[in-house]
Structure 1
Amino acid sequence: MLRWLLSLLVSAAALCTPAHSSAEPVAPADFFGVNASSNDPADFVGMAKADAGITRAVFPFQVIKQGRHMPYYWDYSDNIVGQTADNGLDLIPILYGAPPWISEDLNTTPLRGESKQAWRDLLIAIVDRYGPDGTYWSLNPYVPYRPISTWQIWNEPNSITWWGPRPR
């Protein structure tokens, strides 16, 4: 009888013991992200030290393509791509804006005609530069290869600030 009671107590104790590990769950490295608000190299170093896995940064159309017949100006976005890659951060560019040669209002969405085609051309050029096997990576072999695979097109379509003249 004593043996049976002892077996019952051991079995009950085993059932009351949690089946999971006592170790705290760990979030994946890309779980935490921040918005980059400058091109300062120290900011990207700080993001990496804070264990941010992802950063978002604005790639304004009006900076990359300053005139209808001008070539793409990559220095601004090249700097951001290089800084994030050098610091082990994944980058999600926020592509937005309407340069003056398309619209008088920076926040006017390019939904028709020439502005829509210009946007289409920009998106193709930017993916060809920074995506997998993009020209940026072959031109900058010293930069760690971290091609961009996620892109944010515009921002907050329900906001008059970012999606003028009428939010969607």
Structure 2
Amino acid sequence: MFALCLSAPAIAAANPNPFVGTVSDETFESLGYLYQPGSIDDIAAAGVGSLRQTFDWQYLRKGDTLNWDILDHYVGGAAQRGITIIPVLFNPPSELTTVPPVGALRGFYPTSDPGAIGAYGAQLAARYGTNGSYWAQHPNVERHPITTWQIWNEPNLPVYWRPRLSPKGYAKMLCAAYQQIKAVDPNAEISTAGLPKSRIRSSMWPSKYVPRMMRAGGRGCFDTVALNAYAPTGKAVVKLVSNFRRLLNRLGARNVGLRVTEFGWADQGPERPRAAFTAGANRQGMFIAQALKGLWKARNRLKLRGAVYYAWRDQQVYAGGKNFWGLHTGLNRLNGTAKPALSVFRKTALSLR
């Protein structure tokens, strides 16, 4: 079964562009060995060259090691279709975190040892990085080594860094990961977590978080700053990224690259409150085209390494959560049927050459 999954793709990839990415958790989590390859074929045919995927440590743990069967299948299947994975290293086993035995808040706690995430990343880089053992063991799989590693997710939002935000704590984690992963693969690109400009209570905007993180010891511990660049329109996304580029330059980080690791709009969602990022079915595609074309055109000036659309498919309401705009940003509906935005995305992505 595994060998069959890594056979030639049923639908030829349309020369995917690594600048263009998406998020497709259902492709990773289906693990059905029948559904997944078809999904990756469709994603590649849409011009997507990068898949940003959370490598959930708790989920992937298998005793004292990792579930390499799941990872090999996913990384290899994507590589055969010309797609490179951008992992988000996140959600360590609870016993490795600072979560208290009682009174824990809903959300995610960092590791008690700042170096734990780096050790996890180094283990993955040894298998899937530039000289990873996976590629040596599978010479017939097209080489698309993982070289970009994103450390954690949205630590400037309270729910992702409990019990309180700590740019200093994140700097320690980031620096340890930088050293450990680079020791295994000197070609690795270490990216900060995706940082959104959010109005959620007690959150911290990237323009404040990144300078604090750098002053706390994080300077020199990342190659790329990642933004989860949600904005009301496609043009506003480009403006947001441009403004942050100017901030990095003022901070003396002109050589640091940028990535947009999330952007997107909902075609529908709850009527009240109606979110600024709910665009409607027609404007969803229009804003996507604006953003991709604008970011691509400005990529050299911005030192922008890629843009990831969130998401390939709509998502179900999270356990204990509620319906909101972010569940409706997919290019496809929950039942797998395409929205009008998919054809616009595909046409735009394939034009970026």
* Distance of 1:126 and 1:74 partners within structure 2: 10
TM-aligned CA distance change 1:60 to 1:49, over 3 Å:
same
Q: 1:63-86 CA distances to partner (integer Å, 9 max, x unpaired)? A: 23344xx22222222222112101
For 1:55, the aligned partner's letter is: L
Cα contact 2:89–2:117 (8 A) shared by 1: no
* Distance of 2:126 and 2:18 partners within structure 1: 24
Structure (1 or 2) with the greater strand fraction: 2
* Distance of 2:42 and 2:165 partners within structure 1: 35
* Distance of 2:165 and 2:46 partners within structure 1: 35
CA positional deviation for 1:101: 3.0
Taking only the aligned residue pairs, the percentage that are identical comes to: 33
Cα contact 1:98–1:107 (8 A) shared by 2: no
TM-score (norm. length: structure 2): 0.36
Cα contact 1:66–1:99 (8 A) shared by 2: no
- Residue 81 (structure 2) aligns with: 87
- Residue 153 (structure 1) aligns with: 151
Q: How many residues align structurally?
A: 136
TM-aligned CA distance change 1:80 to 1:162, over 3 Å:
farther
Name which structure has the greater RCO, CA cutoff 8 Å, separation 6+.
1
* Distance of 2:72 and 2:162 partners within structure 1: 28
* Range 146-155 or range 35-44, more displaced: 35-44
For 2:165, the aligned partner's letter is: P
CA positional deviation for 1:42: 1.8
Q: 1:85-111 CA distances to partner (integer Å, 9 max, x unpaired)? A: 01111211111012133245772111x
TM-aligned CA distance change 1:53 to 1:61, over 3 Å:
same
* Distance of 2:18 and 2:118 partners within structure 1: 29
User: What's the RMSD between the two structures over aligned residues?
Assistant: 2.2
TM-aligned CA distance change 1:117 to 1:92, over 3 Å:
same
| Structure 2 unaligned blocks of 5 or more | 1-15, 29-35, 167-353
* Distance of 2:164 and 2:69 partners within structure 1: 32
Q: 1:24-56 CA distances to partner (integer Å, 9 max, x unpaired)? A: xxxx92232101212222221111010012110
For 1:141, the aligned partner's letter is: P
| Structure 1 unaligned blocks of 5 or more | 1-27
TM-aligned CA distance change 1:83 to 1:164, over 3 Å:
farther
- Residue 17 (structure 2) aligns with: 29
